[in-house]
């Protein structure tokens, strides 16, 4: 079933405890772990992750945009993060990462930047529970959704089948949500479209309902 994982990095970082306490109906909460090297920004350290986990029962998932993903597996798992994805671009041995996450009884996945061909995940199809396809790049146009990723989503769905989650992360909003779902995604990471509103819970519920409406249309067309 289609789901949304709102990125906490787009929330008010100076008042996370209060923000999280007001969230209602969230099925997931997304943690971008950025080290300032793999990507330009620096986001949450492990102490903040631990604090977030202690003040909510919402399932947490983490997207590692870091140079050394293996260093984060143990602290994230011990903090209670349920699902962890790392970029193939920063993994010399993706199987080692996936196996390490699974040893803690957590779900593991891989992530691909816009420029990385989908074929990079084929050797690991039977070992991942999730694929994150990044759909924007920091460029002169800002963090804008790259429509070319739609073909990549379709390819990924053919490779992975229906049992692996495909989430799309970057520049997702109400205008392109349907296109992403029709292409084959069953989840999206959304930041500003949820936490940039006056009422994140209402925005989340509206977008989730809209996404599930589009998903029903896709399933109906397949029957």
Q: Where are the alpha helices (DSSP H) in the chain?
A: 16-21, 46-54, 70-79, 94-103, 149-160, 177-183, 192-195, 200-222
CA distance 30 to 28: 7
Largest distance between two CA atoms of the chain: 48
Catalytic: 92? no
Using CA atoms, how far apart are residues 133 and 48, in angstroms rounded to an integer? Answer: 25
Burial class (CB in 10 A: 0-12, 13-18, 19+), 95: exposed
Q: Is-catalytic flag, 32?
A: yes
Angle separating helix axes 94-103 and 70-79, nearest 10 degrees: 20
Tens-digit pLDDT profile for the chain (223 aa)? 999 999 999 999 999 999 999 999 999 999 999 998 898 888 999 999 999 999 999 999 999 999 999 999 999 999 999 999 999 999 999 999 999 999 999 999 999 999 999 999 999 999 999 999 999 986 545 578 999 999 999 999 999 999 999 999 999 999 999 999 999 999 999 999 999 999 999 999 999 999 999 999 875 556 4
Angle value at C-alpha 168, between 88 and 13, nearest 5 degrees: 90
Residue linked to tokens 């671009």 = 89
Catalytic hit among 32, 35, 61, 186: 32
- Distance between CA atoms of residues 135 and 191, nearest Å: 13
d(CA 40, CA 50): 23
Residue among 35, 61, 169, 186 flagged as catalytic: 169
pLDDT tens digits, one per residue of 103-159: 999 999 999 999 999 999 999 999 999 999 999 986 545 578 999 999 999 999 999
> H/E element holding 107?
strand 107-112
- The encoded tokens of residue 108 equal 């593991």
Residues in Cβ contact with 143 at an 8 Å cutoff, skipping those fewer than 6 apart: 136, 137, 170, 171
By CB atoms closer than 10 A (0-12, 13-18, 19+), residue 115 is exposed
């Amino acid at each position: 079933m289609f789901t949304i994982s709102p990125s906490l990095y787009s929330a008010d970082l100076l008042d996370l405890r209060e923000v999280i306490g007001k969230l209602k109906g969230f099925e997931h909460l997304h943690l971008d772990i950025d080290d300032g090297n793999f990507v330009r920004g620096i986001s949450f350290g492990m102490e903040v992750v631990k604090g977030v986990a202690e003040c909510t029962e919402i399932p947490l998932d983490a997207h590692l945009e870091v140079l050394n993903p293996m260093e984060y597996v143990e602290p994230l798992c011990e903090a209670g993060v349920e699902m962890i994805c790392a970029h193939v671009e920063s993994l010399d041995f993706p199987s080692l990462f996936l196996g390490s996450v699974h040893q803690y009884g957590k779900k593991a996945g891989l992530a691909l930047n816009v420029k990385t061909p989908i074929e990079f995940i084929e050797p690991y199809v039977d070992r991942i529970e999730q694929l994150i396809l990044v759909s924007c790049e920091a460029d002169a146009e800002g963090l804008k959704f790259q429509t070319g990723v739609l073909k990549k989503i379709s390819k990924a769905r053919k490779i992975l089948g229906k049992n692996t989650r495909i989430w799309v992360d970057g520049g997702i909003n109400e205008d392109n949500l349907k296109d992403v779902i029709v292409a084959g995604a069953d989840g999206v990471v959304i930041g500003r479209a949820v936490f940039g509103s006056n009422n994140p819970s209402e925005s989340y519920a509206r977008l989730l309902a809209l996404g599930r409406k589009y998903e029903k249309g896709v399933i109906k067309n397949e029957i």
